[in-house]
Amino acid sequence: MNGELLRLIDSISRDKAINKEVIFQGIEQALATAAKKRGVEDDAPEVRIDRENGQIRAFRNGVEIDPTILGRIAAQAAKQVIIQKIREAERDVVYSDFEARKGDIVHGNVLRLEGPHIVVSVGKVEAILLRGDQVPGETFRIGDRIRAFVYDVEKKGQKIRVCLTRASSDFVRRLFELEVPEITDQTVVIRQISREPGYRTKVAVDSTNDRVDAVGACVGVRGSRIKAIVDELNGEKVDIIRWSDDPEAMVKNALKPAEIAHIELDRENRHAQVYVMKDKLSLAIGKGGQNVRLASKMTGWEIDIVEVVEDRPEEANAPPAAEGAVSSEAPAPAAAGEAAPETTAPISEGESQTPSGTAPELSAPAGGPGPEPAPTPPGEPLAPKPIDPRAEGSPE
């Protein structure tokens, strides 16, 4: 009998991965409880099991009593308590195991679908992937292999509830840690992640070693590392961004792949006015405002995108002068007795502009010199005049 008890305890310990001492203590408590239920005295006896030979001894008030007093009924009751204790010990083992794996990625198979939720078999445990933790557009069938991030482990009654997610930024962070050794040894540091699951993720990285390019390390040779991550995310776009402590540079980097023309910062209110060319506007904003939304979340700055219509000098954008006013860009009207300002006639295609203040050259007609230009009255500025070949005295 005693030998069989030891073999039973040893078998349970191996099969259920439960510490033997936990089983011994459970049996001792079960036997004591069963004896009390049988009505043997008011107080439950203290039961001890020898760990070497399996001998059972019972004590009351420090005095050993005959263990047969427990009886057959007590033994049956003890059996039920033992089973219960074993199950509790199993739950404790599972809880401790997954508590240690919280913050890690686990592999499992889709066991069944419970409405919008997915039950995943992970070893001997049924984990749950709630609807809110799933990525929009992803579908799974029973038996599909799945990887997910463990973010919570809790005891609910007689069960252990393991909560998984594929939609969190932590899932992406852990994928990078698994694919990029430089992140594991902290040569490359992930400073910030902003994500819209199923659509786009931005990851800002920094290097603690000047000789290591943080972005290049995450991309990998020929994009091998980032490709593995994108494949796991089912084609979700991932932008790897170089981190900067300078707000202007960080906002500019966060809006990539869009090219920025100019940025104005209101540091007090953490507001950024970002100017982009018209052909880059949609890229900067992103589908449904996605790109600018992720950039704002990553930097912590409110970002407004402003379209630059044309890249032209600031003077060209000056407002026209009001009627009757004199613009600083236009010549003032001549006062009485003063010479009028010099002007230049418009030049049509094919004509060449002559210097202001000189008369245009006249080509001489064939067979003789052309007429000399009339002298200019004193005080009157020279101005170019258009030539009309039909005018009197003009060569035909």
pLDDT in tens, 350-365: 333 333 344 444 344 4
Rounded distance, CA 15 to CA 9, Å?
A: 10
Q: Is residue 308 part of a domain?
A: yes
Same domain, 263 and 231: no
Among 224, 243, 262, the domain-final residue is 243
What six digits make up the tokens of 341? 């300002």
**Is the domain of 144 the same as that of 229?**
no
Phi and psi, residue 362, nearest 5°: -110, 130
- Give the per-residue SS3 of 258-305: CCCCEEEEECCCCEEEEEEEHHHHHHHHCHHHHHHHHHHHHHCCEEEE
Least confidently predicted of 29-38, 196-205, 298-307: 29-38
pLDDT band, residue 393 (cuts 50/70/90): very low
Specify the pLDDT at position 113.
94
Q: What is the value of pTM for the model shown?
A: 0.65
Parallel, antiparallel or unpaired: strands 237-242 and 271-277: unpaired
Least confidently predicted of 32-36, 207-211, 353-357:
353-357
**Is 156 part of a structural domain of the chain?**
yes
Percent of the chain with pLDDT over 90: 48
Q: Are 35 and 14 in contact (CB under 8 A)?
A: no
Sign of the CA dihedral 380, 386, 387, 390? negative
Residue 395 lies in a domain: no
Cα–Cα distance measured from residue 237 to residue 291, given in angstroms and rounded to the nearest whole number: 11
Q: What is the model's pLDDT at position 312? A: 45
- Is 332 inside a domain boundary? no
Instruction: Write out the two tokens for 64.
Output: 């050993």
pLDDT in the model for residue 186: 93
CATH at 60: 3.30.1480.10
Residues 126 and 203 in one domain: no
Do the domain assignments include residue 368? no
**Are 154 and 166 contacting, i.e. CB atoms less than 8 angstroms apart?**
no
Please count the structural domains in the chain.
Answer: 4
Tell me: do 264 and 219 sit in the same domain.
no
Nearest to 33 by CA among 17, 22, 24, 46: 46
Residues 208-230: what's their mean pLDDT? 95
Among the residue ranges 19-33, 58-72, 236-250, 356-370, the one predicted with the least confidence is: 356-370
- Percent of the chain clearing pLDDT 70 (strictly above): 72
Boundary-marking domain end, from 243, 270, 289: 243
Q: What are phi and psi of 86, to 5 degrees?
A: -65, -45
The answer to whether 286 and 254 are in contact (CB under 8 A) is: no
Angle between helices 290-299 and 247-254 (to 10 degrees): 150
What average pLDDT does the segment 145-170 reach?
A: 92
User: Which structure tokens are listed for 344?
Assistant: 């230049």
Average pLDDT over residues 46-71: 78
Q: Quote the domain boundaries for residue 120.
A: 106-165
For residue 186, being part of any structural domain is answered with yes
* First CA to last CA distance, the chain: 140
- The predicted pLDDT at position 83 comes to 79
pLDDT higher for 343 or 33? Answer: 33
Residue at 375 is within a domain = no
Looking at the structure, tell me whether residues 115 and 143 fall in a common domain: yes
Q: Which residues are CB-neighbours of 226 under 8 A, at least 6 positions away?
A: 218, 219, 220, 238, 240
User: Which CATH number goes with the domain that contains 205?
Assistant: 3.30.300.20
Task: Work out the pLDDT band at 74, boundaries 50, 70, 90.
Answer: low
Residue 89 domain flag: yes
pLDDT of amino acid 303: 96
The residue out of 243, 261, 284 marking a domain boundary is: 243
Report the pLDDT averaged over residues 26-47. Answer: 72
**Per-residue model confidence (pLDDT) at position 362:** 38
Average pLDDT over residues 257-285: 93
CATH of the domain at 116: 2.40.50.140
